[in-house]
Amino acid sequence: MGLAPITIGMVGLLFALWANGMQLLGVDQKSVDDSVSEGGSGYAVAIAGSGMGAVTLLFMSGWLVIAAPLGDEGVGAQLGLLFSSIAGMYGLLWLGAAVVQLRGWDMRVIGNVALLCLGLQVIQIGLLASYRVAAQIPLPHFLAVQAALVGYVLVLYGFWAVTHGRISPKVVGWACMLAVVGTLYIMVFGGGLLDPLGM
User: Among 14-28, 37-51, 77-91, 185-199, whose mean pLDDT is lowest?
Assistant: 37-51
- pLDDT given at position 3: 75
- pLDDT given at position 86: 98
Which value, to the nearest 10 degrees, does the dihedral of the CA atoms of residues 152, 15, 59, 69 take? -70
Q: Please report, for the chain, the start and end positions of each structural domain, with discontinuous segments joined by +.
A: 6-190
Share of the chain above pLDDT 90, in %: 85
Average pLDDT over residues 129-134: 97
Average pLDDT over residues 128-153: 97
- pLDDT given at position 135: 95
45-54 pLDDT tens trace? 888 899 999 9
Collapsing DSSP to helix, strand or coil, 75 comes out as helix
178-194 pLDDT tens trace? 999 999 999 999 999 99
How many CA atoms does the CB half-sphere of 85 hold within 13 Å? 14
Average pLDDT over residues 77-84: 97
The CATH number of 6-190 is 1.25.40
Residues 9, 59: contact at Cβ < 8 Å?
A: yes
The DSSP-derived string for 142-160 is HHHHHHHHHHHHHHHHHHH
**Other C-beta atoms within 10 Å of 185: how many?**
19
- pLDDT given at position 28: 77
The DSSP-derived string for 98-147 is HHHHHHT--THHHHHHHHHHHHHHHHHHHHHHHHHHHHT--HHHHHHHHH
Average pLDDT over residues 22-40: 68
